[in-house]
A and B are shown apart, each in its own frame.
Chain A
Amino acid sequence: QQQVKQSPQSLIVQKGGISIINCAYENTAFDYFPWYQQFPGKGPALLIAIRPDVSEKKEGRFTISFNKSAKQFSLHIMDSQPGDSATYFCAASPGNQFYFGTGTSLTVIP
């Protein structure tokens, strides 16, 4: 059973546009929600993370929106750039283990 459901599987966005990736979970014990960025041939790199006591966290062009009641969280990439083209994974953790989404392949076209 997939603990964290991620969509879409792939996403194509024009340069300068907004990329939005969504994740949903069921386990209310999750209290940490990170996003990872993975380029081909590299390991996943922590991009941004949020805890459920806030509804939004912004770091540069990357924003996490968190809806605790709906058990959903999303990553927004503003002013998307070709260099953002990568695979993005959401994850959730209750503190002792991480559960990853299935990944979203983002392509930003010039």
Chain B
Amino acid sequence: SAVISQKPSRDICQRGTSLTIQCQVDSQVTMMFWYRQQPGQSLTLIATANQGSEATYESGFVIDKFPISRPNLTFSTLTVSNMSPEDSSIYLCSVDRGYEQYFGPGTRLTVT
């Protein structure tokens, strides 16, 4: 398994500002994933972050809006930029161990 922590656990932000979410894993992993879960919805993959290379973004998500850093094998950040109320969601970090995927506790973001 994997132990994943995220900071902050929740935040309320104003429109037009940015928030950086941190994800820390208890052991080294090659890939880290960022998901968005809108209220009552399923999980949508935002991007995959490999250490030492640019993140790979899924359709509908762009680097200017969701810049990702991956400075080492246990840490990643996701920034939600120029926020609007539509960005209100839970943002989840995850890692995989072979086929098994493990999730952090999530960051609940509310944009007013």
Contact = CB atoms under 8 A, between A and B. Distances in A.
Contacts of B105: 41-43
Nearest to A98: B101
B45 to A, nearest CB: 7
B77 to A, nearest CB: 17
Contacts of A91: 101
B42 A97 contact: no
A62 interface: no
A34 B102 CA distance: 11
Nearest to B6: A43
Given A43-B92, A43-B105, A43-B106, A34 B42 contact: no
Main secondary structure of the interface of B (DSSP, over half): strand
B102 A89 contact: no
Interface residues of A, number: 20
Contacts of B42: 89, 100-103
Nearest to B101: A98
A44 B103 contact: yes
A98 to B, nearest CB: 6
B53 interface: no
Contacts of B104: 43
Contact of A49 (B41, B94, B99, B103): B99
A101 to B, nearest CB: 6
Contacts of B43: 44, 89, 100
Closest 7 CB pairs of A and B: A43-B103, A32-B99, A100-B43, A102-B42, A100-B42, A43-B105, A43-B106
Interface of A: 32, 34, 36, 41-46, 49, 89, 91, 93, 95, 97-98, 100-103
20 contacts: A32-B99, A34-B100, A36-B103, A41-B105, A42-B106, A43-B94, A43-B103, A44-B92, A46-B100, A46-B101, A46-B102, A89-B42, A91-B101, A95-B99, A98-B101, A100-B43, A101-B42, A102-B42, A103-B40, A103-B42
